């Protein structure tokens, strides 16, 4: 089951500068911000908690990062929307039964969550992530 929008992600070339901008826009306290590196995706990530959901800023750590490739093509901007699920394996099966194919099997993402993506061509050119909380 999908339980909420977990986060909305924005690709940025410079995390510090983007963080300052979004911190000002949202007017949040520094405690609302958490930064981590996700080695598997070669990115540095800042999560800004906004009520029940988060804004995720993604900065590439290498030219090989999918985020570097995205920025090279599009510049900074909206990258994906993440839906929270309570069972990512069940969700993957449900989607496959509807002939909507995930880009990969569920894998470990930021915050130790299990994540999986759908190709934007399946979803009106919006990259959709499914994320299941660590139990």
Least spacing, CB of residue 10 vs Co ion, in Å: 10
9 binds Co ion (CB under 5 A): yes
Q: Is 65 helix (H, G, I), strand (E, B) or coil?
A: coil
Q: Which stretch binds Co ion (CB under 5 A): 10-18, 46-54, 84-92, 121-129?
A: 121-129
Least spacing, CB of residue 60 vs Co ion, in Å: 14
The footprint of Co ion on this chain (CB under 5 A) covers a number of residues equal to 3
Candidates 89, 90, 82; CA nearest to 127 is 82
Least spacing, CB of residue 58 vs Co ion, in Å: 7
Query: Is residue 9 within 8 Å of 81, Cβ to Cβ?
Result: yes
> Footprint of Co ion on residues 80-99 (CB under 5 A)?
82
116 binds Co ion (CB under 5 A): no
Q: Contacting Co ion (CB under 5 A), which of 15, 88, 129, 130? A: 129
Distance, in Å, from the CA atom of 46 to the CA atom of 76, rounded to the nearest integer, reads 15
In the bound state with Co ion, the residue whose beta carbon lies nearer, of 5 and 25, is 5
Burial of 83 (0-12, 13-18, 19+ CB in 10 A): middle
> Footprint of Co ion on residues 64-83 (CB under 5 A)?
82
Phi, psi of 95 (to 5 degrees): -65, -45
Distance, in Å, from the CA atom of 102 to the CA atom of 92, rounded to the nearest integer, reads 7
Residues that bind Co ion (CB under 5 A): 9, 82, 129
């Amino acid at each position: 089951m999908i339980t909420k929008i977990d986060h909305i992600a924005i690709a940025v070339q410079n995390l510090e500068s983007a963080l300052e901008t979004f911190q000002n826009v949202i007017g949040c306290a520094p405690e609302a911000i958490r930064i981590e590196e996700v080695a598997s995706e070669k990115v540095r990530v800042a999560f800004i908690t906004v009520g029940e959901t988060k804004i995720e800023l993604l900065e590439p750590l290498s030219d090989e990062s999918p985020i570097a490739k995205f920025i090279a093509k599009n510049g900074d901007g909206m990258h994906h929307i993440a839906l929270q699920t309570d069972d990512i394996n069940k969700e993957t099966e449900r989607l496959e039964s509807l002939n909507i194919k995930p880009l990969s099997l569920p894998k470990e993402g930021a915050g130790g969550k299990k994540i999986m993506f759908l190709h934007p061509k399946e979803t009106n050119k919006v990259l959709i992530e499914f994320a299941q909380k660590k139990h």
